[in-house]
Amino acid sequence: MKLLKLNPAVRIGGIRLSHAPAMLRWMRDPAVARNIGLRQRPSLEKTKDWIRRVSRDATVRPYAISLAGRHVGNVVLDRIDPYLATARLSVYVGEKDALSMGVATTAIYLVLKKAFRAEKLHKVWLTVHEHNMPAINLYTRIGFVVEGMLRDDFWLEKRRVNALLMSLLRTEFQQIRVVRRT
């Protein structure tokens, strides 16, 4: 059984066009861009186009992460496959002052709760490059397990690195117990 400490000040909600300027600022941060595998130069118009596109896409559930009412990051379920009942998870916290406060843990838990209960998914999976140890440790703490390695699957600082394929099944999620941080 996994025990997670959640931050009660964290909420997830729909991503709106008004979130685009903050998202652009975060994507311009080299640390964020590097870990999410950003492939092209970000712009405000591209960010707004992405928000418009995913809001109409039945295979994507984008959520803004807020901490005490302030937008600090995003968590997204995409590649939703109704037949297999699977989806891919991605997350990032862009505001540096929101790191190490349980924001990502809580946001991931909240989106997994939606995925396994409301969406009735069987499995949520993700990929993470092998050098992103804070993320790997976070995913493992939540209960994700490594399914395999995707060799040379990620481009990081002008070189290819391996990516880990990790997943969490509904039955594993049901074993998680939570406590609220105070």
In Å, how far are 19, 33, 155, 157, 158 from 39, measured between CA atoms? 21, 9, 9, 12, 12
Q: Name the percent of the chain in helix, strand, coil, to the closest 5.
A: 35, 40, 25
Token pair, residue 8, equals: 């009660």
Q: What is the DSSP letter of 98?
A: G
150, 11 contact by CB (below 8 A): no
Q: Give the pLDDT of residue 150.
A: 94
Burial class (CB in 10 A: 0-12, 13-18, 19+), 163: buried
**Architecture of domain 3-180 in this structure:** 3-Layer(aba) Sandwich (3.40)
Q: Which residue ranges in the chain fall short of pLDDT 50? A: none
Q: Give the pLDDT of residue 82.
A: 96
Mean pLDDT, all residues of the chain: 93
Other C-beta atoms lying within 10 Å of the C-beta of residue 84: 10
Q: Give the pLDDT of residue 182.
A: 58
Residue spans of the domains in the chain: they are: 3-180
Q: Give the pLDDT of residue 156.
A: 81
Cα 131 from chain centroid? 17
Q: Give the pLDDT of residue 32.
A: 82
Tens-place pLDDT, residues 164-180: 999 999 999 999 999 87
